[in-house]
Amino acid sequence: MGGEELRFTGNWFVDAGILGFLNLMEEVYGWDLEELQKRINENREKVYYGYFPLAYFYNLAPRSQENKRILSQAIKEIETFDGDKHELLELIWWKYIAQLFTNVWIRKKLEMMHEKDLKNKSGKIKDPYNDNRYVEFVKKREELLNVVLKMEGNPIKEKKCADSIKKLIGKREVIKDGNHRLTLKDFEELIKLFSESSSPLNELLEECKVKTEEAIEIHKKLEEYLMKKWKELSSNSFVEYGSEKLKNSSKFYRLPIDSSFYHNYQFFNQSKGIIEQFRAFRDVLDGKIHHISRDVSKFLPSDNEFPNVSYTKFNIKPLQKVVEYLPVYLICVDKGMIDVNYSDIGKILFYGSDLKFAYTVNRKLKEWLKTLQDKNSIFRLTWRAVIDTIVETKSSYYLENMYIIQLNRNEKGQIIIPTQQTFVKVEYLGIPKLHASIILDDQIREALNTQMPIDILDKSKNKPKDKLKWSDFKKAWLLEVFISQRPMFPVVLRHSNFYLRIGKKPLLTSSLYALAIDAELRKPMGAGIFTWEFFERPKSAVSEIKEFYNDMQMALNVIKRISGQIRGKDILPQLFSALRRHNRNAFVNTLLKALLKANDKQAVALINSYLFKHVLNNDSSWEDFALALVIGLAGGGSSGES
């Protein structure tokens, strides 16, 4: 009775389905990954043939207290069921899944307000409406409404019935060419007025009222008849679904299910009856879908789209030996993705190499995306969720292979165009092992998790410098710059220059850590990916960064102490200019010339030693160490706001 372990396969589409399966079961039953795995191990057939079908169709059904009650009853029955997996599926399908769609099924039948809507081009009743009593009720209701709307009273004293009803329900046209133009919604509005004995009804002719009440009575009988028919269906013994009577009415009882993501599975097909829907869904659970084609998903290519394997049909049967319930997961792909209700973003999926990791990140991301204000912040929110999870697991392995997969909306706002399921983009998020090891350090991560002001958002306001607030600044998120594998030196340089111009001190800790990390990442690395340095450097990176940070902080404090002696603020423009032009000689000469004015010889010696070690003899990252001195000359930094 044991089951397979839920784990990712390495194929993002299949894995999105596995994640969707997990999300669905958690959404409906509250089971997390551990609980779901436990239940699969205990009795996988109950999970896949009982709990899963119930959850899948409950998710497609309208949310209501009645459906919650049905769900609760079904869960109790599954828990105590002891029998064959197919008997369990039949029980759940006919007794409970059918009940979930009672109101939807009845309403769709009630919406047919004209007999002609029930017929095909040759005048025969269409299969979904092929029930004699149902057709009679629809026809009788239509005839009565036509009679009502054709009634004319005394042209001097009384309004036509049609005019009165138009006014009552607020519709411009209620009859055309002798046939009523009322929709079910219009008619329900009229029913509501009659049930409330509303005073506007006084305008109606008495005969008009009588005939309208007759039409309402027929409508109620139709509704009662449909309810009775549907209850008979769901109350039948689950072994009787194959009876000839039901086979002949299969399309009449079709489950009104739809998905904005899938339209090509048999059980979603509008032309299939309830028996065909059941069998198609059973085939999915039994794994009888073998050939990859667009019958499975628009994302998957057809056999003829594999030109390099034209000598044989490409099928997924071998894959099913590894992933037994593969078709089940394929119909859950949409549940693995997050619907972003902002602009035209559509659905997104964070995909990593491990199910538990991806599950945790997506769960956090889903919650945080509820407050999304700017679609560009998806990247930031995703990384916030990733880093949060990484900190919990203390493993950098997960950081190396990650993607954000985005699907688009069409012009109607639908997530997927049924005939053209398309990707907007697949964005690779993985970062190198070296970056991963750095970001796991709490102190460094906290320093980088800073919004660093680099300019004024709206310069047209011309706010005085002393009136500027945090919200007035355009900012760069250091953590985003780092994980995007871009150098942070330009950000710190721009931030320092900007803050000095508006009379503020640069953010000290964040600036120095950003520069120290830059210096570490710029260090030349030996050739080859299997060298000692390749494997050992990530282990020593954090300690080296902190050494660089300490050196920078020491030099910054020393030069800050003698800044007044050498008129440090006067040479800041020249030093910034040298850094922007990457002119090391100009930077060093300007600073050495200024140091000649200092009285504190010990401080000068320390600065000279720092310059010699980290600037003059450092071709790869001298700017990072030089900028630390500039921040010191400006008077040091502030803790600021992050």
Identify the residue whose tokens are 């603020």.
569
246 domain residue, yes or no: no
Same domain, 46 and 102: yes
603 domain residue, yes or no: yes
Q: Rg (Cα) of the chain, in Å, rounded?
A: 35
Instruction: Check: pTM over 0.85? Answer yes or no.
Output: no
**pLDDT at residue 430, as a whole number:** 59
What is the DSSP track for 554-604? HHHHHHHHTTTTTTHHHHHHHHHHHHHTT-HHHHHHHHHHHHTT-S-HHHH
26 domain residue, yes or no: yes
What average pLDDT does the chain have?
81
Q: Could you give the count of Cα atoms lying within 13 Å of 189 in the half-sphere of its Cβ?
A: 13
Of the residues 398, 430, 462, the one at which a domain ends: 430
Same domain, 329 and 346: no
Contacts of 150 (CB under 8 A, 6+ apart): 161, 162, 175, 178
- Residue-wise pLDDT for 194-226, tens only, equals 888 766 677 778 888 899 999 999 999 999 999
Contact 347, 415 (CB under 8 A): yes
Same domain, 344 and 329: no
Same domain, 574 and 448: yes
User: Rounded distance, CA 108 to CA 110, Å?
Assistant: 5
Same domain, 406 and 419: yes
Q: How many domains does the chain have?
A: 4
- Residue-wise pLDDT for 256-304, tens only, equals 887 656 655 666 777 788 998 999 899 889 988 765 544 444 444 444 5
- Which residue in 165, 105, 108, 116 sits closest to 139, CA to CA? 116
Residues of the chain short of pLDDT 70, as ranges, are 1-4, 153-159, 198-200, 235-245, 259-267, 290-316, 340-346, 368-404, 406-431, 525-537, 636-642
- Which residue in 532, 528, 513 sits closest to 450, CA to CA? 513
Backbone angles phi, psi at 181, to 5 degrees: -115, 25
Same domain, 398 and 453: no
360 domain residue, yes or no: yes
CA 187 to each of CA 113, 151, 174, 606: distance values in angstroms, whole numbers, following the listed order:
9, 17, 10, 90
**What tokens does 524 get?**
């030349």
**pLDDT at residue 3, as a whole number:** 58
User: Rounded distance, CA 477 to CA 315, Å?
Assistant: 47
- Which residue in 11, 10, 52, 6 sits closest to 33, CA to CA? 6
SS (H, E, C) 247-259: HHCCCCCCCCCCC
Same domain, 268 and 406: no
**DSSP type of residue 301:** P
**pLDDT at residue 315, as a whole number:** 64
120 domain residue, yes or no: no
Same domain, 364 and 325: no
**pLDDT at residue 428, as a whole number:** 54
User: Rounded distance, CA 325 to CA 392, Å?
Assistant: 31
- Which residue in 515, 498, 502, 601 sits closest to 556, CA to CA? 515
**pLDDT at residue 606, as a whole number:** 96
Same domain, 588 and 446: yes
183 domain residue, yes or no: yes
Of the residues 298, 333, 368, the one at which a domain ends: 333
Q: Which amino acid is at 521?
A: L
Contact 231, 143 (CB under 8 A): no
119 domain residue, yes or no: no
Of the residues 333, 349, 368, the one at which a domain ends: 333
Same domain, 611 and 466: yes
- Residue-wise pLDDT for 543-593, tens only, equals 999 999 999 999 999 999 999 899 988 999 999 999 999 999 999 999 999
Q: Which domain does 498 fall in, by range?
A: 437-635
- Which residue in 91, 94, 128, 123 sits closest to 111, CA to CA? 128
User: Rounded distance, CA 225 to CA 130, Å?
Assistant: 14
Same domain, 599 and 465: yes
116 domain residue, yes or no: no
Same domain, 463 and 486: yes
